Amino acid sequence: MAIQEYAEVPGFPGYRVRRDGSVWSCLVRGHAGYHGPWRRRSLSTDARGRAFVNLSRDGRVYRRRVSRLMLLAFIGPCPPGQECCHNNGDERDDSLDNLRWDTREANCGDKRKHGTLPVGERNGNAVLVAGDVQQIRARLAAGELQATVATLFGVSRATISQIARRVTWKHL
């Protein structure tokens, strides 16, 4: 049985995706309902480098992530409680072989395995860095009070407590 190279995008007539993650259209701008030759669409990326494309239907424009379009077209709708997962951890690789529907837990497990889970300094809200956390734990082990250490590092006592109990920064 031959491998299907292209699949139509459900709900968007005149658009299709290819197994390599490219998006194609046969619609001709300015000519509603006219179909011309298939042309590869240019993709845009968000701040994390994930590809998206704008698709038109009934005079409206819809922004869609390419990874989700790929799974929708080749595999089918997203099952309840699942999300789009990248097998190799690279969210920029939208080839069909790299994508699957799976649970959030499995997706976080993949991110942990590939080192792409935003923990520690990679978390956009992090105030401390790994060296700070190591110093905090050393000071606490030496007997300094959590309140004193919190003031020294400019964070709350609750933050110091979570670091001490390894609720946060547990990867260190």
* Calpha distance 121→134 (Å, rounded): 13
1 pLDDT higher than 70: no
Count Cβ atoms within 10 A of the Cβ of residue 38 and give its class: 0-12 exposed, 13-18 middle, 19 or more buried.
middle
Place of tokens 């004193």: 148
Pairing outcome for strands 15-18 and 82-86: unpaired
CA distances from 19 to 7, 72, 164 (A): 8, 12, 48
For the chain, domain boundaries: 6-114, 120-164
Range picked from 15-29, 60-74, 154-168 for highest mean pLDDT: 60-74
Higher per-residue pLDDT: 33 or 46: 46
Encoding tokens for residue 134? 């190591």
pLDDT grade, residue 83 (50/70/90)? very high
Work out the average pLDDT over 130-142: 92
- The pTM is what? 0.71
7 pLDDT higher than 90: yes
134 pLDDT higher than 60: yes
Higher per-residue pLDDT: 34 or 85: 85
- Asked whether the beta carbons of 140 and 146 are under 8 A apart, the reply is yes
Amino acid identity of residue 78, one-letter, is C
CATH topology of domain 6-114: Homing Intron 3 (I-Ppo) Encoded Endonuclease; Chain A (3.90.75)
